[in-house]
Amino acid sequence: MLTVLPHESRQAWLLRRLRERYEHPEEVRAYSKQVKQGLTPEEIVLLNSLLPGSCRIANLGCGAGREALALVEKGHRVVALDISRAMLRGARQLARESRLELACVWMSDPLRLPLPHRAFDRVLALAQLLSHIPGTEARVALLSEVRRVLVPGGMFIASVTDRAAAADLCFGDEDPGDQLSPLERAAGWEEGDIWVWQPSEARLDTPLFFHLHTREEIISELEAAGLRLVAYVGGHELTPAAASDAYRYRFVVARRENQRR
């Protein structure tokens, strides 16, 4: 059972839950099984249009390497990052078995990238990674780090769960507007914050924090970090072969602004 440590903030507690969930052997096994599936049809269409030649890519929240290894096979130079050492060990092992060269980097701080300035053409945060970050301020902090490591004109490619499209996750047939009580707001909860019980096939009794974005919200967070939205597109808009749950999320494509506004 996870408990709040003395003087631990809500944000720190939620991020610690995230790390401990993804360190669990059952979660690592579940993510390792996904590696053989490779990129989804909608990811293939999107990335083929945005990754010319051999790109230098930072893959945030790489898990056991599903996206990273598929991209290395396509000839890209990938640095895979995760907050879970166990996931990174899994990714390294699968890379060795496939005889692929994959650099793996552990993120000791979920909101800071241990990477040099202006070193990457693209930064990827797929599988709704941003949805796991609690609070607008924290998400802007991570996005600011993304901007720092991108070359001028470089692109950030992510997926977020769209609040209106995914209303069934927590609101049923109700209007997804103003759901929070004054007490919840005072405790730091924001509209769109929910718990998710099964982010994978792993059957673990430890729910994770999840934030459902609106388009306006992601634009605001990107702009605060010095990134400009280029596209906000659904999987089924990219290909009719998209995953069955692709209606719930949107791909975000943003470009690094040279000057902050």
Torsional sign, CA 11, 212, 78, 34: positive
Give the pLDDT score at 6: 46
Please report which confidence band the pLDDT of residue 183 belongs to, taking 50, 70 and 90 as the band edges.
very low
Whether the per-residue pLDDT at 260 is higher than 60: the answer is: no
Give the pLDDT score at 136: 94
User: Residue 74's closest CA among 41, 100, 109?
Assistant: 100
Least confident of 167-171, 178-182, 204-208, 220-224: 178-182
User: Residue 165's closest CA among 139, 131, 201?
Assistant: 131
User: Residue 67's closest CA among 123, 108, 146, 18?
Assistant: 123
Q: What is the pLDDT of residues 152-166, one digit of tens each?
A: 999 999 999 999 888
Specify which residues 218 forms β-bridges with: none
Helix (H, G, I), strand (E, B) or coil at 59: strand
Give the pLDDT score at 172: 43
Task: State the chain's mean pLDDT as an integer.
Answer: 87
Give the pLDDT score at 3: 47
What is the C-alpha to C-alpha distance for residues 17 and 208, in angstroms, rounded to an integer?
Answer: 7
Q: Where are the alpha helices (DSSP H) in the chain?
A: 10-23, 25-35, 41-50, 66-73, 85-97, 136-149, 182-186, 215-224, 235-238
Instruction: Say what the pTM is.
Output: 0.89
Give the pLDDT score at 203: 75
How many percent of the chain have pLDDT more than 70? Answer: 87
Give the pLDDT score at 223: 97
In this structure, what token pair is assigned to residue 145?
């780090």
Q: What is the pLDDT of residues 227-237, one digit of tens each?
A: 999 999 999 99
How many angstroms separate the Cα of 124 from the Cα of each of 38, 116, 239? 15, 16, 20
Torsional sign, CA 238, 240, 243, 248: positive
What is the C-alpha to C-alpha distance for residues 155 and 150, in angstroms, rounded to an integer?
Answer: 7
35 Cβ contact list (under 8 Å, min separation 6): 64, 65, 66, 69, 94
Give the pLDDT score at 199: 63
The total of other beta-carbon atoms located within 10 Å of residue 247's CB is 15
Q: What is the pLDDT of residues 186-228, one digit of tens each?
A: 456 788 888 876 666 767 777 888 899 999 999 999 999 999 9
Give the pLDDT score at 174: 43
Give the pLDDT score at 177: 46
Q: What is the pLDDT of residues 124-143, one digit of tens each?
A: 999 889 999 999 999 999 99
Dihedrals phi, psi of 114, to nearest 5 degrees: -75, 60
Q: What is the rounded average pLDDT of the residues 77-94?
A: 96
Whether the per-residue pLDDT at 118 is higher than 60: the answer is: yes
The gap from C-alpha 245 to its chain's centroid, in whole angstroms, comes to: 16
